[in-house]
Chain A
Amino acid sequence: TQLLEQSPQFLSIQEGENLTVYCNSSSVFSSLQWYRQEPGEGPVLLVTVVTGGEVKKLKRLTFQFGDARKDSSLHITAAQPGDTGLYLCAGGAMEYGNKLVFGAGTILRVKS
C-alpha cells in the first residue's frame, strides 16, 4: 500500500466540465504539495497547503487540505484542454520523519 493514495487514477472529461481529484492517507502530514506534469516535461509545483482546513485558489483550481491533515483535494472548474496532465500530490508524514513522498498521480485528459 502507498502512503498517499490518489484517485481516480485516470479521468477523461469534456472541456467545460468540473472535476475533483483526491489525495488520501491514514497518516498525518505536516504539509501537502500539488504538482502538475505535462507530457514530456517535469512536474511543476502548483500549491502547498500547510494548515488543516486550508483552502487555496489558483484561478480555476481550488485546493483543500483536510481538517485532520490526512487528505487533500483538487477541484477544477470549467476544465480546459490546457489542464491535461498528470496531477501529483506529495507530502511529509510526521511518523516517517517528514520525508517527502509522492502519490502515483491522477492522469487528466480534457477533450475539446
Chain B
Amino acid sequence: ETGVTQTPRHLVMGMTNKKSLKCEQHLGHNAMYWYKQSAKKPLELMFVYSLEERVENNSVPSRFSPECPNSSHLFLHLHTLQPEDSALYLCASSQGPYSANSPLHFGNGTRLTVT
C-alpha cells in the first residue's frame, strides 16, 4: 500500500456529470495538495490544505471544488467540466507546512477524460 492512495485510477465523464476524486494519505502528514498534470506542461498547483485549512487556491475555475474533511483525506469534486480539463490529477502530501522546502509524496493519480 502506497503512502498516498488515489481513487479512481481512471475516470471518463461527460460534461454534464458530477464526480469526485478521492485521496487518502497514511503518512501522518499535515499538508495535502491537488495538482493537474498535462502533457509537456509543468505540474500546475490547484489547491493546498494545511492542517485542514485551505491555504492556496491558484485561480482554479469553480467547476473544481476541493474538500478536506480531516488531515488524512482530500476530495476534488468535479461538475460541468470541459474537454480541456482532461488530464492526470495528482494528490500529494507533505510533512511540513506548505513551502518549497517540504518534499512531496504523490499518489499515482487519477487519469480524467472529459467527453
By a beta-carbon cutoff of 8 Å, the part of chain A in contact with chain B is 2, 4, 9, 29-31, 33, 35, 40-45, 48, 88, 90-92, 98-105
- The range of chain B's interface size is 10 to 19
- Are the C-beta atoms of A42 and B4 separated by less than 8 Å? yes
The total of Cβ contacts below 8 Å across the A-B interface reads: 58
Are the C-beta atoms of A98 and B104 separated by less than 8 Å? Answer: no
A99 to chain B, nearest CB (A): 6
B residues in contact (CB < 8 Å) with A:
4, 40-43, 45, 90, 92, 99-109
What is the bound-complex CA distance between A88 and B40, given in angstroms? 11
Instruction: Report the separation of the CA atoms of residues A100 and B103 in the bound assembly, to the nearest whole angstrom.
Output: 10
Q: Using known A-B contacts A41-B108, A42-B4, A43-B106, determine if residue A104 contacts B101 with beta carbons closer than 8 Å.
A: no
Known: A42-B4, A98-B99. A103 touches B42 (CB 8 A): yes
Can you give 17 A-B contacts (C-beta < 8 A)? A30-B101, A33-B103, A42-B109, A43-B43, A43-B90, A45-B103, A45-B105, A90-B43, A90-B100, A91-B100, A92-B99, A92-B101, A98-B100, A98-B101, A99-B99, A102-B42, A102-B43
In the complex, A90 Cα to B109 Cα: how many Å? 18
